[in-house]
Structure 1
């Protein structure tokens, strides 16, 4: 059942330039032409809204649920030069530090105590504490998308960046991610133990694709790695320690521009979204739904058949509501209708800003599910459209359980 899209006020919806979830999907940031806002994802609630005067932003990246945000200038009139990363303390409502580079910043990723900045042919990593210190840097191939990904769970170590050759991925192990600081009095429970350290000789390069990479994605643990290429038909899942190919999933047979891949935190599912406007969901685990296969796939062991007949296809898919074409600043394709500097990524029409998985409480279970023992926490897919729509999708019944239109009139507490 699809619930009808609805508005909560007569105010015009916000145009979302960029949206970013924190690693646990507890909050998300939304960049708009007028500034930015921070929201709780469940239940949806505006935490804080900042109206900025004198320029626009291309991205606001949250550092988990702390008060630190990383700002990137961009758009028609950048608030900050595109070669700077601004550290913003939202509790103080001001800039507390900045990093300046010799060229435009292409992408950033962060976790507790660490920030990675991707330039066109280099990635620099910084330790973020009372001060910001440069840790190291690595060369990459031409990387106009600024692809990189960090594992964010406590004790995780992995940073994935583009390799020095097209289609390759470099795997770098940083010092372990620390535990979050407790907000209340110390509890009596035993602290979680760190997982075993990586092997003495972990794999450092994965030859993932023959063509240019379009996405790099890690689950919080960093145990797996998902890659896609400019062909846009396959999603490859790799074991990050051994470098072995674990699964090859097929989005479709026609070329597409894949914008993002998101692992479910328990690594049982994975979702993919592209310029086709469809979100595909695949199973990675043994339990739960099974991916679709061609009825001819058993014959591939006996006679030569096209490779796609042996592929795994998504077990579920849905489309995000679209009212008009919008611009994704995460893409590198050019659009002459956008008034931006020649060096700036202009993007192509898309309706989705970001997607992530959220663990929601059992109060969402139906009466029938509760009678059948289904009153437990479940994962839902949360997505934000560039026209200001926020949707939560429960895949078990393929229905929206929440739709909300973010409005200019929304105010935080």
Structure 2
């Protein structure tokens, strides 16, 4: 089992005299960024891999999916999603950064070394202030850091069997959590300012632990029979989505009491789920997998008022020719378009079979995806929702970037709007050569 600094004096924690302002009130600039709420897939090294894949060590979105960060064999890079462009990079001495965790669009980053020539130990989390161009904090552990999650008030560090929660302002250790074996570094933290919610593996296979820090409550949810493969929280932390290593079902739970709200079916064959992401309004869920398909699911409203509105919208027109209930004006904007509510009642395959759910096998009663995008290449991917309405961002291990849109009324196959390559072949080759030369020295 991996160990971390003890709370007695936090001997392995280092912090500069100035500390960190947890409000980060300085205005965003072109060199500001944030964190991904899901696992950043680390490419598996292969002798046949292309140079860009060898140079790329990790990819992760920030909290609002506005940009993504890449850890490379020579440092790290930050990219904006819409419009797509490289914001900046910090690469110089040929030493690698395995994990890069951003905090919205401020100048603070959490970095973990890795690659052929690590910039610093994979057992350390370095807090980097890009505005000051220096490290302002350091946390050391006895084991390898698997993931880091950031909030404005918390730093969450994930090891294989343990998770540590620190206060951002002074790096004081606040909480330690024992987990089931967690080599993927699974952990999700709500990004909204009003509530602090954390979800991570429990101490049993397929179990999820939910920490409601504001309420000082803990829930345990037996989400799956097999091991967890992926999990994600909605922005406000109210909803939890999980997938097991079977990769056929995605389950949605309420974090308030652990109730299962919905069961979504990706497909019938086993596969690996790479990432899960909620839309900002929690009306949609995106999932990417090893099958080379990105799925978008319609989520059911979670309060009685939206549920009744959705049911009314799904009814046939009344005898006078008007709909029993309509959406429009500001309410349509706040609810995310009426189609997102209609879709769960009329478009998801599972809902049309709801009346005979008790007769049909479970395969037919779960809900199928509303929209899909088929990648033209086999590669690991992470997925998120773009800032434009009904758009999905896909970032691939082979350095491909896609921006797609889906029809919120009809669903079906998504339309590709943009394609880019974010690490060029010659740049990757230079990184690998520099890393190889450094390793020889």
CA contact 1:13–1:407 (8 Å) conserved in 2? no
Equivalent residue for 2:395, pick from 380, 384, 399: 384
SS, match of residue 65 in structure 2: coil
Partner of 1:213: 228
CA contact 2:74–2:94 (8 Å) conserved in 1? no
Equivalent residue for 2:282, pick from 267, 273, 278: 267
Mapped partners of 1:79, 1:313: distance in 2: 44
Partner of 2:82: 42
1:235 aligns with 2:274: no
Partner of 2:197: 158
Mapped partners of 1:73, 1:236: distance in 2: 34
SS, match of residue 297 in structure 2: strand
Partner of 1:100: 140
Mapped partners of 2:289, 2:194: distance in 1: 32
SS, match of residue 363 in structure 2: helix
TM-score by length of 1: 0.74
User: How many Å apart are 1:98 and its aligned residue?
Assistant: 1.3
Mapped partners of 2:115, 2:363: distance in 1: 40
Q: Deviations over 1:46-87 (max 9, x none)?
A: 221111424212221101111111111222232221111111
Larger CA Rg, structure 1 vs 2: 2
Partner of 2:175: 136
Partner of 1:178: none
Q: Deviations over 1:24-64 (max 9, x none)?
A: 12221122333211122221222211114242122211011
User: How many Å apart are 1:244 and its aligned residue?
Assistant: 0.7
Q: Structure 2, unaligned stretches of length 5 or more? A: 1-49, 301-309, 311-337, 408-412, 428-441
Q: Deviations over 1:291-329 (max 9, x none)?
A: 22397664443x3x421011211111112332xx6xxxx
TM-score by length of 2: 0.70
Mapped partners of 1:155, 1:232: distance in 2: 32
CA contact 1:118–1:124 (8 Å) conserved in 2? yes
User: How many Å apart are 1:14 and its aligned residue?
Assistant: 4.5
Partner of 2:349: 292
Partner of 2:380: 351
Q: Deviations over 1:325-378 (max 9, x none)?
A: 6xxxxxxxxxxxxxxxxxxxxxxxx332x2211222xxxxxxxxxxxxxxxxx1
Equivalent residue for 2:60, pick from 20, 34, 43: 20
SS, match of residue 386 in structure 2: strand
User: How many Å apart are 1:22 and its aligned residue?
Assistant: 0.9
Partner of 2:20: none
Mapped partners of 1:406, 1:170: distance in 2: 36
Partner of 2:417: 401
Structure-to-structure mapping, 1:43-122, within 5 angstroms? 43-122=83-162
Mapped partners of 1:282, 1:21: distance in 2: 20
CA contact 2:274–2:380 (8 Å) conserved in 1? no
CA contact 1:156–1:220 (8 Å) conserved in 2? no
SS, match of residue 172 in structure 2: strand
CA contact 2:57–2:72 (8 Å) conserved in 1? yes
CA contact 1:320–1:351 (8 Å) conserved in 2? no
Mapped partners of 1:160, 1:318: distance in 2: 28
Provide closer, same or farther for how the CA distance between residues 271 and 203 of structure 1 changes in structure 2, counting only shifts above 3 A: same
Q: Structure 1, unaligned stretches of length 5 or more? A: 1-11, 176-197, 326-349, 361-377
Mapped partners of 2:234, 2:80: distance in 1: 21
CA contact 1:29–1:60 (8 Å) conserved in 2? yes
SS, match of residue 75 in structure 1: coil
Mapped partners of 1:17, 1:75: distance in 2: 7
Q: Deviations over 1:211-234 (max 9, x none)?
A: 111112001110110111111111
Greater Cα shift, 239-248 or 288-297: 288-297
User: How many Å apart are 1:282 and its aligned residue?
Assistant: 0.5
SS, match of residue 198 in structure 2: strand
Structure-to-structure mapping, 1:355-374, within 5 angstroms? 355-360=383-388
Mapped partners of 1:379, 1:124: distance in 2: 36
Mapped partners of 1:156, 1:236: distance in 2: 22
1:169 aligns with 2:185: no
